[in-house]
Amino acid sequence: MLEEGTLSMELIDGKEIAEKVLEECRRDIAHLAESGIKPGLAVILVGDNAASRTYVNAKDRKCRELGIHSVKLELDAAVSQEELIATIEECNRDDEIDGILVQMPLPEHIDESKVVEAILPSKDVDGFHPVNVAKMAMEDASGFVPCTPLGCQRLLTESGVEIEGANVVILGRSMIVGKSLALLLMQRAEGANATVTVAHSRTKNLSKITRRADILVAAIGRPRFVKAEDVKDGAVVIDVGINRIDDPEAKRGYRLVGDVDFDAVAPKTKAITPVPGGVGVMTIAMLMANTVKSARLRRAGD
């Protein structure tokens, strides 16, 4: 429970904002259906990582709910890089597939960059292909922006958080989240124009840097890493972490916690995202939005 003096803290409701994004998708899907177009997404899962399987199933379910053609391809953990790339190339050729997503991480023997580069940039709804990364860096809106950064930005804009001119500190430098979000929020565009600092495991005086943040984004994959003393009073905190913590009393034997020590940090903030129910639900919603965008660009000539 939050204590007195915390009443001004806003819980950023990812579910509600994701629902708004999904409603826009439904409207666009209905519009495409008038021209006989049904967006299609292929999701490729390699091996049987439990968390990856959960994410892939959630993506498949959401596609079906919205009326997006969903193809779930499951490959053995021992699949060769060549076979995986051959599967991607089949999806590249299939006109009913607008988006291709290969769930990360991949087994050690597979080179993730080679796999990402095999995806047609025009079907790369994850936004990981070098062509799409370059477009984001060059502020060319015709490419795809990775779903989690896009979701973080939308959470902020929908919550009325001023991003322009804000000191944004991002903890984590992965391509999937940290580095991409930095590129996105420093763009000369609406919902951007931030002053961005990217901190990581080698950063010195980390706490001093995070305490300067008007907007702090935690994306390091370490449970409850961000403590109250790392956060400025009145900051906005976006928690990208989804960490499984063993809990014999929980239904599945584990609980999800973020990269932020929520109970300690929340009372100091102006607004904060919960885990679950924050960034995670937005990531799936933005994937649906990117798939619909691809169908519009590829097949409706929008």
For residue 126, the minimal CB distance to ligand GUN (Å) is 5
Q: Does position 147 bind ligand GUN by CB under 6 A? A: yes
Dist. CA 157–CA 161, nearest whole Å: 6
Active-site entry in 103, 124, 179, 293: 103
> Taking contact as CB under 6 A, which single stretch among the options 11-19, 96-104, 206-214, 253-261 is the one that binds ligand GUN?
96-104
Residue placing its CB nearer to ligand GUN in the complex, 102 or 156: 102
For residue 128, the minimal CB distance to ligand GUN (Å) is 7
Q: Report the amino acid identity of residue 142.
A: S
Q: Does position 189 bind ligand GUN by CB under 6 A? A: no
Residue placing its CB nearer to ligand GUN in the complex, 102 or 185: 102
Count of other CB atoms within 10 angstroms of residue 141: 9
Tell me, letter by letter, the H, E, C secondary structure of 136-157: HHCCCCCCCCCHHHHHHHHHHH
Q: Does position 21 bind ligand GUN by CB under 6 A? A: no
Catalytic (active site) residue 59: yes
Residue placing its CB nearer to ligand GUN in the complex, 52 or 203: 52
Catalytic (active site) residue 76: no
Dist. CA 94–CA 85, nearest whole Å: 14
From 12, 102, 133, 183, residue interacting with ligand GUN (rule: CB under 6 A): 102
Two tokens, residue 56: 């892939």
Count of other CB atoms within 10 angstroms of residue 3: 8
Nearest residue relative to ligand GUN (C-beta): 104
From 87, 122, 132, 148, residue interacting with ligand GUN (rule: CB under 6 A): 148
Q: Name the phi and psi angles at 171, rounded to 5.
A: -95, 110
**What are the b/e assignments for 73-109, b being 16+ CB within 10 Å?**
bebeeebebeebbebbeebeeeeebbbbbbbbebeee
Report strand pairing: 10-11 vs 69-75.
Answer: unpaired
Residue placing its CB nearer to ligand GUN in the complex, 37 or 51: 51
Residue placing its CB nearer to ligand GUN in the complex, 79 or 266: 79
Q: Applying CB under 6 A, which residues contact ligand GUN? A: 101-104, 126, 147-148, 176, 283
Residues forming the active site:
59, 103, 126
